[in-house]
């Protein structure tokens, strides 16, 4: 395959032996799968250069950029999943968040705002949000952190107002580019932007209140929190949107004993459980956690000094002379937000760990450790820390490099080949969400559910599809599948028996949702033995069993 005389795709016929048929294997940017993965690796490769620039700019030293990059590699297994699962939405989005936070840092530090910086911030917001709907929750933590440093007085109203306007514009652009995704407009992120915009407009009235500075901070914080929650609730009810309701339920289940079908599907997966106890230990072994704690304590000491000046009724300009680095306070607050997210949902440590690497660059900051660098050369301190980090860090890298393998899923290959050659192009399939993604992409067949779980309608359909693993009757399940116009159901026995922890097998999850049928034999167990009279087995191998839905 040539493009303007350049070869973009090379294919081979690979003989696999062991009775397996030969397959075609292609590489090059002309192959869609290779192009997809290559773009992801390119983005994440450029991200490392961005991390160096970020650490250098934040710390004011090129040594800070070196610290950030080396910390990332020393803790690579805790920083990213791109090497294991490239085609994740976060793999496209996260590099743009790094760029976005660098631009925010520049805007906070700059004495004058330039149009180019604001346009770049808007575009990075858009590219961060477009591939990944969870991005709105990350940007919510950013807006909350920026509002907090505004309330205390580290940035002025003009700068925050510009940032809020940029976020509003980027949100509107994403709404249009996502073909009117109303989930964005009814999100906590959108509500927070609206509430802060309103509070900025009411700033003159707030200043007329005869209360202390500390009381004014508390009032503004409470108004923001209460206003965001209420506005989110009202907009969701008015527009009838429940696409992100499962996120609220998931967080509720973390603090209380709340359980439902959707939350159990999440919390039973290891990546959505609480952070592993071993994670802080791994941070400590590479000295990432101790270094970040030292930096964080240094920032907190300066914040405490500033706040004490205000509480003690000292002059505002004196406080600003003592500490006028709002970008450092912002990063400290963002660290707290990412820590909370990472502890509650293990998967989200992918935000926490890289941010810790950026924070580690501040050991080179003269604003924080100038008193030390007057006595000791900064390079000596930094290289001593890096040498200590490299003891465990190099071992971690060796572990990462030692992982070599290849992907092979012969049972799914047999399934896809059977679907392509034995079913009609318009045959509708249902089954486990990961399997449905393969059926849609590889066999090009219509599916009724897939892994995009942020859509309320899709969650409802998936719940019906997963009733095959409940204790309901075959007749009842078949009736609901017919309503979805399903022709074939792909049954996986492993989904019926696997159990990540107590209460997490599919039949046990259904016992919470459907207690009336608790104690009965799971339908999937019955269908594995005999699919009649409501279904007909048309294909099976060691993993998959395809059931044709018998229409009445």
Average pLDDT over residues 475-489: 94
> By percentage, how much of the chain surpasses pLDDT 70?
96
pLDDT digits (tens, 9 = 90+) for 493-520: 888 888 888 888 899 999 998 888 888 8
Tally of CB atoms within 10 A around 55? 29
Worst-scoring range by mean pLDDT, 116-130, 150-164, 253-267, 383-397?
Answer: 253-267
Q: How confident is the model at residue 433 (pLDDT cuts 50, 70, 90)?
A: very high
Tally of CB atoms within 10 A around 173? 16
pLDDT digits (tens, 9 = 90+) for 66-77: 999 999 999 999
Residue 551: the pLDDT is 82
Q: How confident is the model at residue 317 (pLDDT cuts 50, 70, 90)?
A: very low
Q: Show the tokens assigned to 239.
A: 């527009």
Separation between Cα atoms, residue 137 and residue 366, nearest integer Å: 33
Residue 5: the pLDDT is 66
Separation between Cα atoms, residue 93 and residue 354, nearest integer Å: 14
Phi-psi region of 190 (alpha: psi -120 to 50; beta: other; left: phi over 0): alpha
Separation between Cα atoms, residue 122 and residue 166, nearest integer Å: 6
Average pLDDT over residues 389-413: 89
Residue 319: the pLDDT is 42
Average pLDDT over residues 394-410: 87
Worst-scoring range by mean pLDDT, 17-21, 454-458, 541-545?
Answer: 17-21
| Among the listed residues 15, 398, 459, 551, the one whose alpha carbon sits nearest the alpha carbon of residue 260 | 459
Contact 123, 117 (CB under 8 A): no
Contact 233, 186 (CB under 8 A): no
Worst-scoring range by mean pLDDT, 150-164, 313-327, 453-467?
Answer: 313-327
Residue 299: the pLDDT is 93
Residue 3: the pLDDT is 62
Specify which of 205-209, 373-377, 429-433 reaches the highest per-range mean pLDDT. Answer: 429-433
Answer with the residue of higher pLDDT: 106 or 304.
106
Q: Which residues contact 197 (CB under 8 A, 6 or more apart)?
A: 161, 164, 168
Residue 4: the pLDDT is 67
Residue 371: the pLDDT is 81
Q: Coil, strand, or helix at residue 262?
A: helix
Average pLDDT over residues 342-360: 94
Answer with the residue of higher pLDDT: 84 or 107.
107
Q: Which residues contact 411 (CB under 8 A, 6 or more apart)?
A: 541, 542, 543, 544
Contact 55, 66 (CB under 8 A): yes
**Residues forming beta bridges with residue 489, ordered by sequence position:** 430, 547
Average pLDDT over residues 295-323: 69
Average pLDDT over residues 81-93: 86
Average pLDDT over residues 466-491: 93
Specify which of 154-158, 268-272, 315-319 reaches the highest per-range mean pLDDT. Answer: 154-158
Separation between Cα atoms, residue 444 and residue 452, nearest integer Å: 17
Average pLDDT over residues 274-285: 93
Q: Show the tokens assigned to 125.
A: 């917001």
Q: Do you find a cis peptide bond into 533, omega within 30 degrees of 0?
A: yes
Q: How confident is the model at residue 272 (pLDDT cuts 50, 70, 90)?
A: confident
Query: What are the distances in angstroms from CA 541 to CA 418, 451, 538?
Result: 11, 24, 11
Q: Which residues contact 388 (CB under 8 A, 6 or more apart)?
A: 287
Worst-scoring range by mean pLDDT, 377-381, 388-392, 436-440?
Answer: 377-381
Q: Which residues contact 121 (CB under 8 A, 6 or more apart)?
A: 100, 103, 104, 107, 163, 166, 170
Average pLDDT over residues 537-542: 92
Radius of gyration of the chain (CA): 27
Worst-scoring range by mean pLDDT, 7-21, 238-252, 310-324?
Answer: 310-324
pLDDT digits (tens, 9 = 90+) for 122-147: 999 999 999 988 899 999 999 999 99
Residue 454: the pLDDT is 77
> By percentage, how much of the chain surpasses pLDDT 90?
55
Average pLDDT over residues 34-48: 92
Residue 228: the pLDDT is 95
Residue 203: the pLDDT is 80
CATH architecture of 410-549: 3-Layer(aba) Sandwich (3.40)
Contact 58, 104 (CB under 8 A): no
Residue 315: the pLDDT is 46
Where are the CATH 3.40.50 domain residues in the chain? 410-549
Worst-scoring range by mean pLDDT, 20-24, 39-43, 363-367?
Answer: 20-24
Separation between Cα atoms, residue 362 and residue 109, nearest integer Å: 15
DSSP code at position 110? -
Q: Report the chain's mean pLDDT, rounded to a whole number.
A: 89
Tally of CB atoms within 10 A around 390? 17
């Amino acid at each position: 395959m040539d493009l303007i005389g350049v070869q973009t795709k090379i294919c081979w016929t690979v003989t696999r032996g062991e009775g397996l048929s030969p397959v075609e294997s292609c590489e090059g940017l002309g192959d869609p799968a290779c192009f997809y993965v290559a773009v992801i690796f390119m983005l994440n490769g450029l991200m490392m250069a961005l991390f160096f620039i970020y650490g250098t700019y934040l710390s004011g030293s090129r040594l800070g950029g070196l610290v950030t990059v080396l910390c990332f590699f020393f803790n690579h297994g805790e920083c990213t999943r791109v090497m294991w699962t490239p085609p994740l939405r976060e793999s496209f989005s996260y590099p743009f968040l790094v760029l976005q936070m660098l631009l925010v840092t520049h805007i906070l530090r700059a004495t004058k705002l330039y149009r180019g910086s604001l346009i770049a911030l808007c575009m990075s917001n858009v590219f961060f949000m477009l591939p990944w709907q969870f991005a709105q929750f990350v940007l919510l933590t950013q807006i909350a952190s920026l509002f907090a440093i505004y309330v205390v007085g580290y940035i002025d109203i003009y700068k925050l107002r510009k940032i809020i306007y940029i976020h509003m514009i980027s949100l509107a652009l994403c709404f249009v580019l996502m073909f009117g995704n109303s989930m964005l407009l009814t999100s906590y992120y959108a509500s927070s932007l609206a509430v802060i915009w309103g509070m900025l407009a009411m700033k003159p009235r707030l200043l007329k209140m005869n209360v202390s500075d500390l009381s004014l901070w508390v009032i503004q914080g409470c108004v923001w929190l209460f206003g965001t929650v209420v506005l989110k609730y009202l907009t969701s009810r008015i527009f009838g949107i429940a696409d992100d309701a499962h996120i609220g339920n998931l967080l509720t289940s973390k603090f209380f004993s709340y359980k439902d079908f959707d939350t159990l599907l999440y919390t039973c997966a290891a990546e959505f459980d609480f952070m592993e106890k071993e994670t802080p230990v791994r941070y400590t072994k590479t000295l990432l956690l101790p270094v970040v704690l030292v930096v964080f304590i240094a920032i907190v000491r300066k914040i405490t000094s500033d706040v004490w000046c205000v509480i003690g009724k000292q002059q505002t300009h004196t406080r600003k002379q003592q500490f006028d680095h709002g970008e450092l306070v912002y990063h400290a607050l963002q660290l707290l937000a990412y820590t909370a997210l990472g502890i509650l949902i293990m998967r989200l440590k992918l935000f926490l760990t890289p941010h810790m690497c950026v924070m580690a660059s501040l050991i080179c900051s003269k604003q924080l450790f100038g008193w030390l660098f007057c006595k000791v050369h900064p390079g000596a301190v930094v290289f001593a820390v890096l040498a200590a980090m490299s003891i465990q860090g190099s071992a971690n890298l060796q572990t990462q490099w030692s992982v070599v393998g290849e992907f092979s899923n012969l049972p799914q290959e047999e399934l896809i080949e059977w679907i392509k050659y034995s079913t009609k192009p318009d045959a509708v399939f249902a089954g486990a969400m990961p399997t449905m993604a393969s059926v849609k992409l590889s066999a090009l067949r219509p599916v009724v559910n897939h892994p995009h779980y942020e859509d309320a309608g899709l969650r409802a359909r998936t719940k019906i599809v997963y009733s095959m693993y409940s204790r309901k009757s075959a007749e009842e399940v078949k009736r609901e599948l017919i309503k979805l116009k399903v022709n074939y159901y792909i049954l996986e026995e492993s989904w019926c028996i696997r159990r990540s922890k107590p209460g997490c097998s599919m039949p046990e999850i259904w016992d919470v949702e459907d207690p009336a049928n608790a104690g009965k034999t799971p339908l999937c167990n019955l269908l594995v033995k005999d699919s009649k009279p409501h279904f007909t087995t048309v294909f099976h191998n060691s993993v998959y069993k395809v059931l044709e839905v018998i229409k009445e």
